[in-house]
């Protein structure tokens, strides 16, 4: 956990002046928690009566990270088994690291787990140059390709939620996570009663997992791996059926074409495996644990992320393409801060490029905090 006085001071200034923190609806039924600078663990089972009380706590405590439950409880301050769960908002998390983009190694830095030494490049077989340690934590400074990848995934999820599930776009709240991804909050009370299994089924649908071949008209012949085609009466004009039909270039009258495709693949089982590959590729890569956990505490919108010093910031879905998290979510001040760099590092923040090769540098607070939160610098 970052414990620098300079970082805490920048966070304090932000919360003192802040206008972006969003108090959730039904605030008195939520469980809150926060992490503290330099102290492991989290202060949990907190409750607030209103936005003013929440803000006062942020200013007084200056937390490194702030969380709020997606669940509603009758008694949010009691132990988990006594809270009396009343339902939970539906949430989704798209994390850039789960996209496994090819650019990541070029802007990742290994930090020795033993001594904290940072190295400039990702090593194939890591050995700390300072102490010889073999274990490292890897931090990444996301590049434009990383953000574009997360944006595409977010736009795809919006399409599924609005098109397949019929959720009104005004009920889909999209947020930059404050580091390298996006969070979705669904403001539709009809989803609150869903249990973990129902949410897991929903995640499977969105990820394209488990679509059966029969749903697009391919059926196994009894007692063999041969197949025959019989299209569903409801057609191929919506949801996954439509996506698969467009990919295979078939329609509700393409019996012969689909039969030939199945034969070319090698029969029912081979086609089913190909269908699974296609749907997984077209599905949305979301963190299933975030959505299925009905007791999760989730980063509070408008608060700072200690992994970057950036804000969890609400994004307009219609303007997602032009959203620049390294400008829009970079909300800290510009007071000069002296830092000692652990390694050569580069980042673009608020339209400025910081390419720091020298050991000591004086940077605006927003840039200094970013490098320190990443573990690539410390206060001089």
* CATH number of 30's domain: 3.90.920.10
Catalytic residue among 95, 98, 324, 328: 95
Specify if 197 maps to a domain: yes
Let me know whether 127 and 219 are in one domain.
no
CA angle 307, 311, 312 (to 5 degrees): 95
Let me know whether 369 and 296 are in one domain.
no
The phi and psi torsions of 110 (rounded to 5 degrees) equal -80, 130
Let me know whether 301 and 342 are in one domain.
no
pLDDT, residue 323, reads 96
Structure tokens at 221: 């012949």
Label residues 260-275 b or e (16+ Cβ within 10 Å = b): ebbeebebbeebbebb
Does the reported pTM lie above 0.75? Answer: yes
Range of the domain at 365: 333-380
Let me know whether 327 and 339 are in one domain.
no
Specify if 146 maps to a domain: no
Catalytic residue among 287, 293, 316, 324: 287
Let me know whether 31 and 56 are in one domain.
yes
Domains held by the chain: number: 4
Specify if 163 maps to a domain: no
Q: Can you give the chain as a three-state secondary structure string?
A: CCCCHHHHHHHHHHHHHCCCCCCCCCHHHCCEEEEECCEEEEEEEECCCCHHHHHHHHHHHCCCEEEEECEEECCCCCCHHHCCEEEECEEEEEEHHHHCCCCHHHHEEEEECCCCCECCCCCCCCCCCCCCCCCEEEEECCCHHHHHHHHHHHHHHHHHHHHHCCCCHHHEEEEECCCCEEEEEECCHHHCCCCHHHHHHHHHHHHCCCCCHHHHCEEECCCCCCEEECCCCCCCCCHHHHHHHHHHCCCCCCHHHHHHHHHHHCCHHHHHHHHHHHHHHHCCCCCHHHHHCCCCEEECCCCECCCCCCECEEECHHHHHHCCHHHHCCCCCCCEEEEEECCCEEEEECCEEEEECCCEEEEEHHHHHHHHHCCCEEEC
The per-residue pLDDT string of the chain (380 residues; one tens digit each, 9 = 90 and over) reads: 455 799 999 999 999 998 899 999 999 999 999 999 989 999 999 999 999 999 999 999 999 999 999 999 999 999 999 999 999 999 999 999 999 999 998 899 999 999 988 988 665 788 898 898 999 999 999 999 999 999 999 999 999 999 999 999 999 999 999 999 999 999 999 999 999 999 999 999 999 998 999 999 999 999 899 999 999 999 999 999 999 999 999 999 999 999 999 999 999 999 999 999 999 999 999 999 999 999 999 999 999 999 999 999 999 999 999 999 999 999 999 999 999 999 999 999 999 999 998 889 999 999 999 999 999 999 98
Specify if 342 maps to a domain: yes
Specify if 222 maps to a domain: yes
pLDDT, residue 357, reads 83
Specify if 252 maps to a domain: yes
Let me know whether 87 and 220 are in one domain.
no
Let me know whether 73 and 182 are in one domain.
yes
Let me know whether 327 and 337 are in one domain.
no
d(CA 308, CA 205): 32
Catalytic residue among 65, 93, 195, 324: 93
95: annotated active-site residue: yes
Let me know whether 53 and 89 are in one domain.
yes
Let me know whether 67 and 114 are in one domain.
no
* Boundary-marking domain end, from 251, 282, 313: 282
pLDDT, residue 18, reads 82
**Residues forming beta bridges with residue 299, ordered by sequence position:** 67
Q: Is 55 exposed, middle or buried (0-12, 13-18, 19+ CB in 10 A)?
A: middle
Rounded to the nearest 10 degrees, how much is the dihedral formed by the CA atoms of 232, 233, 236, 241? -40
Let me know whether 28 and 123 are in one domain.
no
Specify if 148 maps to a domain: no
Let me know whether 126 and 66 are in one domain.
no
pLDDT, residue 1, reads 47
Specify if 193 maps to a domain: yes
93: annotated active-site residue: yes
* Boundary-marking domain end, from 250, 282, 314: 282
């Amino acid at each position: 956990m970052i414990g620098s006085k300079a970082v805490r001071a920048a966070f304090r200034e932000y919360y003192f002046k802040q206008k972006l923190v969003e108090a959730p609806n039904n605030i008195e039924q939520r469980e809150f928690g926060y992490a503290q600078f330099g102290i492991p663990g989290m202060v949990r089972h907190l409750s607030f009566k209103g936005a003013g009380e929440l803000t006062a706590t942020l200013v007084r405590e200056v937390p490194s990270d702030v969380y709020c439950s997606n669940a509603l409880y009758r008694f949010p301050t009691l132990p988990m088994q006594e809270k009396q769960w009343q339902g939970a908002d539906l949430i989704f998390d798209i994390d850039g690291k789960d996209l496994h983009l090819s650019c990541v190694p070029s802007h990742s830095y290994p930090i020795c787990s033993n001594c904290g030494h940072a190295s400039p490049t990702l090593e194939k077989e890591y050995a700390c140059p300072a102490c010889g340690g073999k274990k490292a934590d890897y931090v990444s400074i996301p590049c434009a390709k990383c953000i574009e990848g997360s944006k595409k995934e977010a736009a795809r999820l919006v399409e599924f939620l609005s098109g397949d599930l019929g959720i009104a776009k005004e009920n889909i709240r999209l947020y930059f996570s404050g580091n390298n991804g996006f969070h979705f909050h669904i403001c539709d009370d009809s989803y609150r009663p869903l249990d973990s299994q129902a949410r897991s089924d929903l995640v499977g649908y969105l990820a394209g997992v488990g679509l059966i071949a029969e749903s697009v008209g391919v059926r196994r012949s009894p007692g063999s791996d041969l197949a025959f085609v019989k299209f569903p009466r409801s057609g191929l004009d919506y949801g996954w059926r439509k996506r698969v039909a467009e990919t295979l270039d078939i329609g509700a009258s393409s019996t012969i074409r689909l039969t030939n495709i199945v034969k070319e693949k090698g029969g029912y089982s081979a086609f089913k495996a190909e269908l699974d590959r296609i749907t997984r590729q077209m599905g949305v890569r979301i963190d299933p644990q975030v959505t299925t956990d009905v007791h999760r505490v989730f980063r509070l919108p408008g608060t700072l992320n200690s992994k970057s010093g950036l804000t969890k910031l609400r994004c307009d879905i219609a303007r997602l393409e032009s959203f620049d998290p390294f400008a829009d979510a970079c909300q800290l001040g510009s007071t000069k801060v002296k830092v000692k760099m652990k390694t050569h590092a580069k980042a673009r923040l608020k339209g400025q490029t910081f390419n720091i090769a020298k050991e000591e540098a004086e940077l605006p607070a927003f840039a200094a905090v970013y490098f320190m939160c990443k573990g690539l610098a410390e206060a001089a």
